[in-house]
Chain A
Amino acid sequence: MKGNSYFSRKLHSLLGIIPLGGFIVVHGLTNYQAFERGPEGFDKGVTLINSLPLLPLLEIFVIYLPLLFHGIYGLYVAYQSNSNTGRFKYGRNWAFTAQRVTGVITFVFVFWHVYQTRMQVYLGNITHEELGSTMNKIATDPTYFVLYLIGVLAAVFHFSNGLWAFLISWGITIGPKAQRISSYICMGVFVVVSALFILSLVAFMGDEFKEAANAALTWTNIG
């Protein structure tokens, strides 16, 4: 069995759900602590994640490498597709195009977002305790807020619609009825996970996240 696009595509599809899909859900839930429990809740979540053993290895093998493979191969997959929504105006065909467009948006957004947050911790510009105030700065800037809203909605759509496609790519949902039911479930996933992210973005706007901001003033030179 030599390397061929069948295996690359299967790997691309798998990585989209495991680990990336799992990550986006956990990420949404952690951020949501900001909405539900305020700065302490969010800090707790961040600290919990930062106390995981072998964190750098986990990050590299469970997030960065899968993201790079899925993202870069995904750009290639998007390049290989036409969009013919003008001629075939079916919902699923729109979703096909949207899957590609949101993939590209997600690609740009994720790199920018990681640079603004995680990279700054690595570079020593902020500590992870200051991430809350970093997010406060982002959420209170109207331009950043809108860009984050677009980025988050694109990423969550991409994940939810990708989940629907994943179930077909692996032969789990086969008939039209199974695929219709799974599309309703995936739409539900989109609504719930989007809500998690949007509510946390709103929560980050609150003054209580500003507290640690003084310490994070250095961040101002990043944007």
Chain B
Amino acid sequence: MAETTVASKTVKFIISRQDTPESKPYTQEFELPYRPNMNVISGLMEIQRNPTTADGVKTSPVCWESNCLEEVCGACSMVINGKPRQACSALIDQLEQPVRLEPMRTFPVVRDLVINRERMFNALKKVKAWIPIDGTYDLGPGPRMAESKRQWAYELSKCMTCGVCLESCPNVNDRNSFIGPAAISQVRLFNAHPTGEMNKHERLDALMTDGGIEGCGNSQNCVRSCPKGIPLTTSIAAMNKDTTTHLFKKWLGM
């Protein structure tokens, strides 16, 4: 019944493309038939099935990354209409058209919308964002964590290393060694854990080296951009406090 009206409706995409990590980016336009409840990923899948530009020219399919399709893995992060966010939860009905897709250029572009987020994983390694319990014998149960604290910490643990906060930060760029908001918040998470707390100083020390916490300039874009609603600026200020205390304690030999 409504078939015909729906079929005549289209969705327009303007996509930034790049063939190799070194080559120059260019844009291509695509026009797809509208389907109800489309999101950016299903649009990209449609282009993959029929890689033809709006002018009818055959082209290579657009590359992107995605996994969970429910905004928990972070793989599909890209800049959609100027804002970094997850493509899988970007519903076409809620987007202004034409929909502009770009890679998050804060990271090295691998191809089209695919980026390399390795620096985020290196950052997690640098601050030891884990709880070291491996050993040669059973250490027995660790201290209990209060339920109220667990619920609070759970909010911080939602980080999916998606990179949106780094993309929004004016101090994450190739002139600046700032580690970025995500890893700082993870230090807060692991330092709050009753077992993780035992290695608190190691993580604080890591934040107090080049390319640590010092690069934050308080633009506070991160907290407004994080899809998980993680209180990043609170985490950063809390870690500012802890690193400052740690600094004075070290100086005083405490």
Contact = CB atoms under 8 A, between A and B. Distances in A.
A96 B240 contact: no
Interface in B209-225: 209-221, 224-225
A6 interface: yes
Contacts of A173: 237
Contacts of B241: 170-172, 174
Interface string A11-44: 0000000000000000000000000000000000
Interface string B227-254: 0000101101111111111010010000
Interface string A81-119: 111100110101100110100000000000000000000
Interface size bucket, B side? Answer: 35 or more
B170 A174 contact: no
A87 B209 contact: no
A128 interface: no
B28 interface: no
B237 A80 contact: no
A210 interface: no
Nearest to A99: B217
A169 B219 CA distance: 12
B59 interface: no
Contacts of A77: 217
Contacts of A81: 170-171, 173, 176, 217
Nearest to A175: B234
Given A6-B208, A80-B175, A170-B240, A92 B220 contact: yes
A92 B219 contact: yes
A179 B244 CA distance: 18
A123 interface: no
A164 B219 CA distance: 12
Interface string B142-183: 000000000000000000000000001011010111000000
20 contacts: A6-B207, A6-B210, A8-B214, A9-B214, A77-B217, A80-B171, A80-B215, A81-B170, A84-B221, A87-B168, A96-B170, A96-B217, A164-B218, A165-B217, A168-B233, A169-B216, A170-B241, A171-B238, A171-B244, A174-B241
